[in-house]
Amino acid sequence: IVDEVQDSSTNLTDDEAVEQFRLHWLGRKQGRLKAISDAWLKSAPADAKKHIGQRFNKLKEEIDRRLESAGNVGISRAQLAAEAIDVTLPGLRRPLGAEHPLIKTMNEIVSVFQAMGYSVGVGPEVETDYYNFESLNFPPNHPARDTQDTLVIANQERKPLRDRLLMRTHTSPVQIRTMERQPPPVQIVIPGKVHRNDAADATHSPIFHQVEGLCVGPKITFSDLKGTLDHAMKAFFGSSVKTRFFPSFFPFTEPSADVQISCIFCGGTGCRKCKHSGWIELLGCGMVDPAVFALVQAKQPGYDPKKVSGFAFGMGVERIAMMKYGISEIGQLYSGDMRFLEQFA
Ligand code: PHE
């Protein structure tokens, strides 16, 4: 029968002949192979089954081989040609995603400090009262707590105050978490999301982003703070930007300062953006309060307020992104509107 296969396969030159050959041998109902299987294989006595099976498989292989060399593996040539891929055609380019302007701004701020040797850290958005307030020298019932518009987690009243959970109102708790984990010296920046019970308007959002900074070591001074932030602002906004420092208050820094930069829109001559003052307020900072070190010292003895000093700073990323890109509505940063976002791709 194998000879028969060979004989019947000499003229497989077109699709029609190949299909004829395939039907003759492999046809599901009338095919020779099925007839042979029915007549021989199925009824073979048990001891002959193996032998007959082997020959049957040889036959089947021969048929498959013929079909294959005729270019037919169950698909017609016409179909193959229709499905062929022209590998010389140019590919389809998928549109690439791009960094969101807010994240881009945050990453740029972070890398300015990384270039000065700062490492990068993160911390939890759901914090305890201890890390968000108490460890930062906001005693219970201290009026400075009211300035933070805190969103608290429900059903915490049965816990001691310091263990109660809340949404962190600033990234400063990560200062404490960092120092508790790591002995001095420390140079770290902490980007992250913060939450405040603020009504949303053109420039405020109840969820926004900050970049926190902390530098601690022997003999860190206010001059280091000024030099570092002045350099950072010049690196970020351009070398012609000037900075100035105003007295301010934060419970965890003493002295504290607000930093202003010369207006990046008018260069300091006065315009609508800087309310004609020539200056724009950008961040809060100060020397770490010794009371903060004293609390950390219980867990990391290296933070002896007599042996180390340090500075910290914190800035709002949305404000900076809006200034940098001339965005007037904070909500646009969260809209996910591609027409807006594509401008920054
Ligand atoms: N955490 C302060 C705020 O959110 C900013 C700040 C950080 C001030 C570090 C001083 C030092 O307002």
Task: Confirm or reject: Cβ of 251 under 6 Å from ligand 1.
Answer: no
CA distance 192 to 125: 8
Tell me how crowded residue 122 is: count the other CB atoms within 10 A of its CB: 12
CA distance 181 to 176: 9
Q: Where are the beta strands (DSSP E) in 170-242?
A: 186-195, 207-217
For the segment 322-343, what is each residue's pLDDT rounded down to a tens digit?
999 999 999 999 999 999 998 9
CA distance 133 to 130: 5
Mutate to test the pocket of ligand 1, among 148, 249, 250 (most ligand atoms within 8 A of CB): 250
For the segment 34-55, what is each residue's pLDDT rounded down to a tens digit?
888 888 878 888 888 888 888 8
Tell which residue, 294, 306, 247, 256, has the closest CA to residue 137: 294
Is residue 71 scored above 70 in pLDDT?
no
In this structure, what DSSP letter does residue 144 have?
G
**Measuring from atom 6 of ligand 1, which residue has the nearest CA?**
314
Tokens of 116: 């000065």
Tokens of 273: 């953006």
For residue 243, the CA-to-ligand 1 centroid distance in Å is 18
Give strand pairing partners of 288. Answer: 253
For the segment 152-193, what is each residue's pLDDT rounded down to a tens digit?
999 999 999 999 999 999 999 999 999 999 999 999 999 999
Output the pTM of the full model. 0.75
ipTM score here? 0.98
